[in-house]
Structure 1
Amino acid sequence: MNIPLSRHRLALACCAALFAPFAAQAQDASTTQDAQTLDTVVVTGIRGSIATSVETKNEATSIVEAISAEDLGKLPDISIADAISRLPGLTAQRLDGRGQVIHIRGFSEQFAGTLLNGREQVTTGDNRGVELDQYPAELLSGVTVYKTPDASLVGQGISGTIDMQTIRPLSYGQRRTVLSAQGEYNSLGRLTEGGNDKGYRVSASYVDQFANDTFGLAIGVARMDAPFQEKHYKSWWWADTAAWGSPQPGVPGGAIALQGAEGWVKSRDAVRDGAVAVLEFKPNDTWHSVLDLYASRFDQEELMRGAMWTNDPWWNGGVVSYSNAQTTSFNGYPVVTGGTLHGIEPVVRNDSNLRETRLFSAGWNNAFRIGDLWTLSTDISYSRARVEDSKFETYAGMTGGLDVDFNVPLSHGYGYYDLPDLSDPGAVYLRDAQGWGHDGRLEDTHQKDTLRAFRVAVNREVPSSDFLRSWDLGFHYGKRTKDKSAEVYFTDLPGRTPTLVDGSLLLGPTSLRFAGMGDVLSFDPRRLLSTYYDVYLSESNDDLQKDARVVEELRTFYFKANLDIDVSDNVRLRGNAGVQYVRTDQTSAGVVISGSELAPGTQGASYGDILPSLNLVADFGNGWNLRFGAARELMRPRINDMIARANVWVDQMTGQWRGNGGNPKLEPYRANAYDISVEKYFGNASYVALAVFYKDMDTYIYTQDIPWDFSGYDYEGDVPPVSNWGVFSAPANGSGGYMRGVEFATALGGELIHDALDGFGLLLNASYTESSMDPGGGSRDTFPGLSKIVANATLYYEKHGFSARVSQRFRDPYRGEYGSIFGQRTYRHTSHERVLDLQVGYDFPESSALSGLSLLLQVNNLNNEPFRTVVSDSNGYGLFFPEEYTEYGRQYLLGVRYSF
């Protein structure tokens, strides 16, 4: 095995720290300085949560960030993604108006590991990035984000590892029942008939201990029925088509024009039910057993109604023309921003999208104390996710071309199009207005993701050493299977004849006046499905290749030494050093298309990785810590890149095999990572920290032409292949790059400044990150998900039962990964965001007859921050034009909480 020099150095450094403790065991033990910890936390609520989180960060041997519940079933935010997005170096990517996935240190969600009680979790998405909206915040007690790994952390990522935790009833130490209920309202109101603008959230949690505190029980249930609303406008693409020999009538020479647009509203009703149960048994000091169970179901019903069109010179024979075209100079280029379009045929869309997800996770951990020094632990876990997704789109429109006055902005905002009344039931027909070849489309997709895992580990305390506190030796086995399949149907009107919708099936018109598009015809598309349409299976090659299976078996062996030594009277050094060896066996099954022939394809790979890690904390006393971390890290490739799908053919001119598709032989992203953090802790909930990090990416995965053995593929054609080897275009491991950054964070209590500020506090963090990678061809690019600047600020007050908190999170522009048409994934340039949230609450005092009752008002997205993207011009001039502009409205929640 050839190991790069940088890997040699990292491995030697970690191994030196790993084996040094054994030489130190022969020395006489000296007096060990007692561990310095934070003062005992006696406050609750916001300050209690901050104090617990700060204590977790201070006492960890790795570099971590943490959040803790303010009370049983009460994390600081209503969603896990929103809560941890305020941590240093972390930020959320919004989807459908809610935080769904987390980017850590400039990496997209695909580079992060996600655990529940230390166990890797499957996903409801099509890749590895866990959708955190599947986990109700009401059922979790805290979250720890590991920025540096250690050898016993299995399921880690390159950017970091998110570990969500449920409560441990014996550690909680008291009986508690909490009931909560909130009403919810979206400020955009009811945008379309059949949608909702009001919802609710309810939850109940119970924790208790029995049999002289040897048996503990914690259970919790939560339901969310939340309305999500959306006003959406999108510019399709911008170009000077005359530069390609296809001028548009009426467009001034050399001018860039918008080639299509859309506007719609979405009304989404999301219902999530979650339940958690924890059974903990500790009959004596020898045996400790914990069983965790978690389940959720998340159902979404989405209605989308709007209008869209293309006006490029190739559509419908180039019938669209302009008159009175007005241009605006944009970075020195003339751009058409107003005038009249002639001959466009907008399609009226009424879509119904249904999604059902089922998530289940179980884990059983047992720890056995053997004698005074040994502990044997076992852990068995199972995680499963099922997804059923159905997307049905219908098309309607007027017959013949339309003349439309328009005005489009060159900055973010809604456009204006003076469309005729597209809600006229006597003029708008069910028809293929854009010439897509069918009158509707239905796609049903199915996904199942399962992960079975087992771990056995032993811990040995070393009381005779003045350097080595203990060591851990363990083995972890995990098998993950992800199956995906899809059926695609076209729906046609009999004879493809335009048809008016019966008035009894029509709903009230939907307004698109926010984008200057008037009203559009509205109906329930699924109700029309059996009345008007003939449905038939029609799958393209891309559709057929959505059927796939990926199987991964990982065997992880690890050793970790836990270090603790008094370097001097004033300096204590603690931490860990260790190594993992990960053996991976992966196989994939997909569809191979050769000409008109379809065949199953199955391929795979096997490889091993050595992952040394080192974490050291120098404690200088008086709250000063200096941390250092170094590790070899990896993140397994995206699942959809590993599918053994292929389109293959033989070049009839050269006789060489050619092909494109997935790559089941992909190996992970790999990096060497280095971290330094300086921290100062004071009080019981205050600290200041400054950290720098550097990740040297050995390899990055991008699409490239690679040599490929085509043995076993069927061949059709007159020219025989000259060799079994050819060229295959697919995702492949290529050259890497780097990610580096600096992070600042502080938590400050007002009492540190002046007694008059007691009860006030500030949480503030900011990070600057930059990256560079080489995708081939000599060009450089940044990593997807990277915002150079990420900042969060929270100002809070809590005293005499009253609490208030206002928070703002900011992120710079970034390339986000989103779902696209027909289930594809795409990267889009997303503009900066500032999201402002507000919470106000009151807890009745113990002396009150209403003791235990709390009132809470929350307003999320208080500033109604829109979602915005930009798109580059198609001529390669280096211009970026506004693309998407979407508003989600403010989310108001008013509720009560009662604990006893």
Structure 2
Amino acid sequence: MSMFKPSILTLALAAAGITSFAATAAEEKQLKNDDVEVIEVKGFRGSVVESINTKRFSTQVVESISAEDIGKLPDSSIAESIARLPGLTAQRLDGRASRVSVRGFSENESATTFNGREQVSIGDNRGVEFDLYPSEIMSGVTVYKTPSAGIEAEGIAGVIDMQTVKPLSKGEQVIMFNGQYEQTSFDKLNPDGDDKGFRGTVSYIDQFADDTIGVAFAYNTMSSPNQEKRWNSWGYPDTEVDGQTYSILGGAKPFVRSSTLERDSAMLVVEAAPNDRLNMTFDALYVDFNDEKILRGIEVPFAWGQGTRDKDSFVIDEQSGFITSAITEGQRVVVRNDYEERKAELSQFGFNAKYDINDDWSIEFDASRSKVDRTIWSIESYSGTGRGDANGIADNIGYAFDGGNTGAQFTHELDYSDYDLIQLGGPLSWGGSAALNNKYGLNDTAYQNTAQDGFINAPEISDELSTLKLAASKVLENEYFSRINFGLSYRDREKVKQSEGYFMTLKDFSLDNPGMVSVPEQYRLDSASLDFIGMGDMIAYDTNGLVNDGYYDLLQESLTDQKHLTRSWTVQEEVTAAFIQADINAEIGGIPVTGNVGIRYVRTEQSSQGFEASNINGLVVASPTDVSHDYSNVLPSLNLSFAIDQEQTIRFGAAKTISRARLDEMHASIETSYNSEKPDENGNYWSISGGNAELEPKEATGFDLTYENYFDAEGYFSAALFYKDIDQWIFDERYDVDVTGKEDPATGELPPADRNTATRSSKVNGGDGSLWGYELSLSFPFSVLHESLEGFGLIASHTSVEQDLQDQNGNDYELPGLSDKIDSLTVYFERNGFQARTSMRKRSDFKGDIYGSGFATQQVDILGETIWDAQVGYDFADSGIAGFENLSMTFQIQNITEEAFTSLQGDNALQVRDYQDYGRTYLLGVSYKL
């Protein structure tokens, strides 16, 4: 059996992530001194080969996707492509794959980098929402499941690195145009929504000055529709029937949503290599992101409403203790016409220079700056039959659950599409604000708490990150190590969140004129259908137009509700790191061994500014807060690859890793209250809740063992075991803190001396446990069975994950984002220009984060899902048709089986919190390469 030892050239190419199939095949041919057939494949199969070679020649455990050209990744979304990799899966947000989990850990436990540099995020936390990044301008993605000391990001789950093209590596001029028409399977669910869209990309790559300067540019524009039929419940309280307690529907908020994601992106890469020793690269990325949503539905109070429940109508499922069908009489509802606009603007600039001082020494300098600003303007507009709880025509409403997870069907008697019956104004007394009541003189009147005719959530996020890195490497001449790398890096990040909300009141409202207002003719949009829940048609009007044209007065909610101050904060992090890493290139017992061993020292100085807020006589009083904290971590890592023969490799990885605390948990904003009359259950009169600016990272020591068999240029089999010993996780805790000298916010006086402790509620580090699992993955070209099957193949993976984690009090804890089973499958055919493939990604139940009230992050139980996509296409390059040689066409269907997104409230499968039906999406694409 012949043995081979990869050369430094091969290792360097692999480490740089630019190893192409042709390069590695040629290198192997030289190394092995035998004849190797170099197979040239293009299209999807070409990207499969590139991905396999990235995995094969990496010094770590990685997964990879690769694009044949800019704009030709296998999927229309970066997240969808990543979610097909072994051990990875995605959570959908508004029907689009967005948040990526790695080996059971949520997006907050992995780091995301762009060309090796950590990324800012548009959410409240660190986890990147990948729908911000267009797949059309990326050349590939590499997921590092085991770390090395030189990687400039930290994450217990791993690091996801998105890459742009290197124009000098391309070696030829490329001018490409991609266009794609998109349509949803639902007709317009809202009269002013979209069910059709378009995306287009133009890209240019070229080399100049005898191939010493390369330029790559790509521009992408997208207008992508998405529609949803959504059942949403308020909850399921208990009620008593004949002395027995059963659960009943508290209320529901079903609606239809029409969204349009508009995104313009531009990418520029300039690469210069004036001589064989110097290489410089400048890259820039700009993304303008605008997600517009139109939502219409009817909030239906039930057990928590004002109607009388007819117990004779109850249908009870004794096994689950749930009332599956009931009628409430004399119920008033809220008709909602909502509008939401989520805008984000991302800019990123980076510069990298590598210089070979001589044949042994090289140095590298890298600097980057990235920033994202996000604003949300989310309007709720209310209408109904009369203002307040007691006015207007009531309805008799029934509900019935069908036994599945799809929510309930309603019966009703009123016509909610009648503009004479349904008018603008607050139909229920929800406006419990002292500021609203004081403004309109509603205290102690029949119209108290009735001045809320709508509401606007308006949170803003700004995230800025600057990085510097200086590193050096030296080639070593010994039998164990081929190179030593060392360096310093610095990251400075600041994230700011500002939370605000506004009460909406019709501008003509007063105690003398407390009625409702008909929707003006110019804002009427006919009706929206709610037949999917049995409520028929409802009025549809232009909410954003009414607000912009001044039909409502706005009043800040932060005047009377301190939650906006406790959700507003600034967090800064300064991270200084030093690393040293040795690349292994040895032979042990006749077996070639490659890999790396290193250690990374990370010093973090974090601080946060926020507010300490109290509510006094219905109004908010606040003072600034400022908390600083510092800590350090030592992170050793080891990666070993044992080349059993030319095809088989065994890998071992061991490392200590960290994941930093979520930003919405480690801020300095708190809410304080003092009860002078009665102590709490801890015996304290003071209570404090909010963020904890002294949180430190979660820690894990991980071990990986992988067997890989590369039996074909297009095929491999891999089996992996992984284990993580977890420590210092972050949990909720209530504990005592000293508040000596703190004044009563209501009186300004010091409380008695025996009241100098407070009950503090926040997140803390504590608890421990473990996570373990296995992965099986296969890429199998059917041509290995028989040459007649050339072009057929499949890619499949299965991941199983288990955990045993307890909080600091010994209570079991379930990791967010963890599905204990993850599967993916792609079956493809590509030959003579024709290509077809179908793909499946499947995950079991998990806990996931969604946007809750006021766009605060909320965790819910989400049911597992199986999503099927399909694509067919034809590349005319080999068609022989003159003028069509550079043309290719594709047709895709996403979510073929119309898999819904479903979350539950509690363990009862009938108690559906959310049922979101997105339908299918069809895409017709054309690509032309000059």
- Which residue of structure 2 aligns with residue 548 of structure 1? 569
Q: Which amino acid aligns with 1:582?
A: V
| Residues 479-558 of structure 1 mapped to structure 2, 5 A cutoff | 479-493=492-506, 494-495=509-510, 496-529=514-547, 530-539=549-558, 540-558=561-579
Deviation track 1:709-731 (CA, whole Å, cap 9, x = no partner) reads 54685544563354765431101
Give the Cα–Cα distance (whole angstroms) in 1 for the partners of residues 270 and 826 of structure 2.
36
Indicate the RMSD between aligned Cα atoms, in angstroms: 1.9
Q: Which amino acid aligns with 1:408?
A: F
- Which residue of structure 2 aligns with residue 385 of structure 1? 372
Give the Cα–Cα distance (whole angstroms) in 2 for the partners of residues 36 and 555 of structure 1.
46
For 1:666, what is the secondary structure of its paired residue?
A: coil
Deviation track 1:528-551 (CA, whole Å, cap 9, x = no partner) reads 224532222222110122221000
Give the Cα–Cα distance (whole angstroms) in 1 for the partners of residues 406 and 260 of structure 2.
26
2:309/2:326 contact within 8 Å kept: no
Deviation track 1:290-311 (CA, whole Å, cap 9, x = no partner) reads 1111110111211100001222
For 1:564, what is the secondary structure of its paired residue?
A: strand
1:39/1:683 contact within 8 Å kept: no
2:566/2:690 contact within 8 Å kept: no
1:736 and 2:768 are equivalent in the alignment: yes
Q: Which amino acid aligns with 2:905?
A: V
For 1:663, what is the secondary structure of its paired residue?
A: coil
Give 1:459's match in structure 2, choosing from 465, 473, 480.
473
1:144 and 2:132 are equivalent in the alignment: no
Post-superposition offset of 1:253 = 4.1
Is 722-731 or 109-118 further displaced after alignment?
722-731
Give the Cα–Cα distance (whole angstroms) in 2 for the partners of residues 187 and 712 of structure 1.
64
1:42 and 2:56 are equivalent in the alignment: no
For 1:633, what is the secondary structure of its paired residue?
A: strand
- Which residue of structure 2 aligns with residue 425 of structure 1? 419
1:41/1:48 contact within 8 Å kept: no
Residue 655 to residue 729, structure 1, CA distance change in 2 (3 Å): closer
Q: Which amino acid aligns with 2:515?
A: T
- Which residue of structure 2 aligns with residue 696 of structure 1? 725
Post-superposition offset of 1:110 = 0.7
- Which residue of structure 2 aligns with residue 6 of structure 1? none
Q: Which amino acid aligns with 1:411?
A: G
- Which residue of structure 2 aligns with residue 17 of structure 1? none
1:151/1:612 contact within 8 Å kept: yes
Residue 252 to residue 898, structure 1, CA distance change in 2 (3 Å): farther
Give the Cα–Cα distance (whole angstroms) in 1 for the partners of residues 707 and 738 of structure 2.
52
2:419/2:539 contact within 8 Å kept: yes
Give the Cα–Cα distance (whole angstroms) in 2 for the partners of residues 216 and 189 of structure 1.
46
Is 365-374 or 395-404 further displaced after alignment?
395-404
1:656/1:722 contact within 8 Å kept: no
Give 1:645's match in structure 2, choosing from 656, 669, 694.
669
- Give the structure-1-normalised TM-score: 0.92
- Which residue of structure 2 aligns with residue 15 of structure 1? none
- Which residue of structure 1 aligns with residue 63 of structure 2? 65
Deviation track 1:661-713 (CA, whole Å, cap 9, x = no partner) reads 10000001111111110110011110000001011111111110234354685
Post-superposition offset of 1:503 = 3.2
1:672 and 2:672 are equivalent in the alignment: no
Is 39-48 or 810-819 further displaced after alignment?
39-48
Q: Which amino acid aligns with 1:277?
A: L
Give 1:327's match in structure 2, choosing from 315, 318, 336.
315
Give the Cα–Cα distance (whole angstroms) in 2 for the partners of residues 784 and 345 of structure 1.
38
For 2:811, what is the secondary structure of its paired residue?
A: coil
Give 1:567's match in structure 2, choosing from 560, 583, 588.
588
Residue 186 to residue 711, structure 1, CA distance change in 2 (3 Å): farther
- Which residue of structure 2 aligns with residue 890 of structure 1? 920
Give 1:119's match in structure 2, choosing from 113, 117, 120.
117
Gaps of 5+ in 1: 1-32
Residue 197 to residue 88, structure 1, CA distance change in 2 (3 Å): same
Give the Cα–Cα distance (whole angstroms) in 2 for the partners of residues 668 and 35 of structure 1.
46
- Which residue of structure 2 aligns with residue 26 of structure 1? none
Give 2:408's match in structure 1, choosing from 406, 415, 422.
415
Q: Which amino acid aligns with 2:640?
A: L
1:589/1:644 contact within 8 Å kept: yes
- Which residue of structure 2 aligns with residue 130 of structure 1? 128
1:327/1:334 contact within 8 Å kept: no
Residue 328 to residue 657, structure 1, CA distance change in 2 (3 Å): closer
Give the Cα–Cα distance (whole angstroms) in 1 for the partners of residues 861 and 33 of structure 2.
47
Q: Which amino acid aligns with 1:758?
A: E
Give the Cα–Cα distance (whole angstroms) in 2 for the partners of residues 368 and 710 of structure 1.
57
2:741/2:750 contact within 8 Å kept: no
Gaps of 5+ in 2: 1-29, 386-391, 432-451
- Which residue of structure 2 aligns with residue 227 of structure 1? 225
Give the Cα–Cα distance (whole angstroms) in 1 for the partners of residues 487 and 738 of structure 2.
38
Q: Which amino acid aligns with 1:415?
A: A
For 1:51, what is the secondary structure of its paired residue?
A: helix
Deviation track 1:858-900 (CA, whole Å, cap 9, x = no partner) reads 1111111111111117xxxx77622221111111111211012
- Which residue of structure 2 aligns with residue 475 of structure 1? 488
Give the Cα–Cα distance (whole angstroms) in 2 for the partners of residues 579 and 35 of structure 1.
34
Deviation track 1:721-744 (CA, whole Å, cap 9, x = no partner) reads 547654311011011221111100
Give the Cα–Cα distance (whole angstroms) in 2 for the partners of residues 302 and 711 of structure 1.
49
Figure out how many residues of one structure are paired with residues of the other and give that number.
Answer: 851
Give the Cα–Cα distance (whole angstroms) in 2 for the partners of residues 777 and 39 of structure 1.
61
Q: Which amino acid aligns with 2:483?
A: S
Give 1:349's match in structure 2, choosing from 332, 336, 359.
336
Poorly superposed stretches of 4+, deviation over 6 Å: 35-39
Deviation track 1:580-630 (CA, whole Å, cap 9, x = no partner) reads 110000000111024533100010210000000000001111311111110
- Which residue of structure 2 aligns with residue 583 of structure 1? 603
1:848 and 2:881 are equivalent in the alignment: yes
1:200 and 2:224 are equivalent in the alignment: no
2:684/2:758 contact within 8 Å kept: no
Residue 406 to residue 707, structure 1, CA distance change in 2 (3 Å): closer
Give the Cα–Cα distance (whole angstroms) in 2 for the partners of residues 88 and 766 of structure 1.
7
Give the Cα–Cα distance (whole angstroms) in 2 for the partners of residues 880 and 209 of structure 1.
61
1:857 and 2:891 are equivalent in the alignment: yes
For 1:845, what is the secondary structure of its paired residue?
A: helix
2:576/2:603 contact within 8 Å kept: yes
1:806 and 2:838 are equivalent in the alignment: yes
1:802/1:842 contact within 8 Å kept: yes
Residue 466 to residue 73, structure 1, CA distance change in 2 (3 Å): same
1:254 and 2:245 are equivalent in the alignment: yes
1:41/1:51 contact within 8 Å kept: no
1:196/1:267 contact within 8 Å kept: yes
Give 1:606's match in structure 2, choosing from 606, 614, 630.
630
Post-superposition offset of 1:148 = 0.4
Is 588-597 or 204-213 further displaced after alignment?
588-597
2:404/2:910 contact within 8 Å kept: no
- Which residue of structure 2 aligns with residue 440 of structure 1? 454
Q: Which amino acid aligns with 1:520?
A: M
Give the Cα–Cα distance (whole angstroms) in 2 for the partners of residues 709 and 456 of structure 1.
45
1:309/1:434 contact within 8 Å kept: no
Give 1:793's match in structure 2, choosing from 819, 825, 833.
825
Give the Cα–Cα distance (whole angstroms) in 2 for the partners of residues 649 and 403 of structure 1.
43
Post-superposition offset of 1:254 = 2.9
For 2:53, what is the secondary structure of its paired residue?
A: helix
Give the Cα–Cα distance (whole angstroms) in 1 for the partners of residues 812 and 463 of structure 2.
35
Residue 884 to residue 650, structure 1, CA distance change in 2 (3 Å): closer
Deviation track 1:403-435 (CA, whole Å, cap 9, x = no partner) reads 123322332124211222111111112232232
1:622 and 2:622 are equivalent in the alignment: no
Residue 36 to residue 260, structure 1, CA distance change in 2 (3 Å): farther
Q: Which amino acid aligns with 1:694?
A: Y
